[in-house]
Structure formats: C-alpha cells, structure tokens
Copies of this chain bind each other. A is one copy, B any other.
Amino acid sequence: MIKQLSISTLRQGLHEITHEIAVAVSDSRLQEGLCTVFIKHTSASLIIQENADPSAAYDLEQWLNRLVNENDQRYTHTSEGLDDMPSHIKTTLTATSVSIPVINGQLALGTWQGLFLWEHRRANMQRTVIVHTGA
C-alpha cells in the first residue's frame, strides 16, 4: 500500500514526522512487515534520530551547517540562492529513503528514535513524502 503525504516546512531544520508515518501504517492495517518512507526532493532529506532531548537536533543542525558552508565561492550551482547547493550536499550526506520494520501493527522504532524530515532550504516549502507498507 502506498500513501502520499504533503508536509509544510516553515524553517530550515529538523521536522519530526513520526506521527504522520505512524498514522499511515495504522491506516494500512499491516500487522507485520516493512514501512519504507521516501522523500521526492533533492534539497530536503530524511533521518532517524533522537526525539527526546531537542538539544540533539539543535547540535546536529549546527554541526552540518558548519560542515557544509553556504559562503563557498567555489560553488557554480548558485542561481537559486546561497542555500541551494548546500541543500543538495546535505541531502546527499543523509537519506532519501529509510525503511522501518512494522511489528504488531506499529513502527518498531527504538525508545529514543523519531523520523525527521530535514528541510535544508530557508524558504517555506511544501514537501511530498511517500509511505510504502508491505509484508
């Protein structure tokens, strides 16, 4: 079963979407199997990370912003702004698809795991995520 979700991102950074994916899994009535999440973009990505203490997400964003510098004169792909090429690089270093097992009708995430959509652009964006569930 496939379900498409539309997600508004209001700022650059991590947006938790665990609940939206859990609802899609529940709607699929799958009891045991695999849930694969795919994001249809090249300047936003997916990661599974700690969702308990917001300082982990904060430090992660800051670290990646330091690694992938916006003000690099060597970029040639600059027509859409300073945050465009860094967004492609950050997407490449994280994930476009992630798979999570389903057990007893629920995502088998660890205690501290949440699924995040990582918006790398600075503008408000409308993002499409596809959820596939199968035995």
Q: Count residues of chain A with CB under 8 A from any CB of chain B.
A: 55
Residue-wise interface mask of A (21-48) relative to B, using a CB-CB cutoff of 8 A (1 in contact, 0 not): 0000000000011101010111000011
Is the beta-carbon distance between A42 and B112 smaller than 8 angstroms?
Answer: yes
Cβ-defined contact, A48 with B100, below 8 A: no
Residues of B near A47 (CB, < 8 A) are: 92, 96
Can you tell how many copies of this chain the complex includes?
3
Contact check, B36 vs A113: say whether CB atoms are below 8 A apart: no
Asked if A85 and B56 sit within 8 Å, CB to CB, the answer is yes
Query: 8 Å CB contacts to B: which residues of A8-32?
Result: 32
Does A124 touch B at the CB level, under 8 Å? Answer: no
**The residue from B48, B60, B109 contacting A89, defined by CB atoms under 8 A apart:** B60
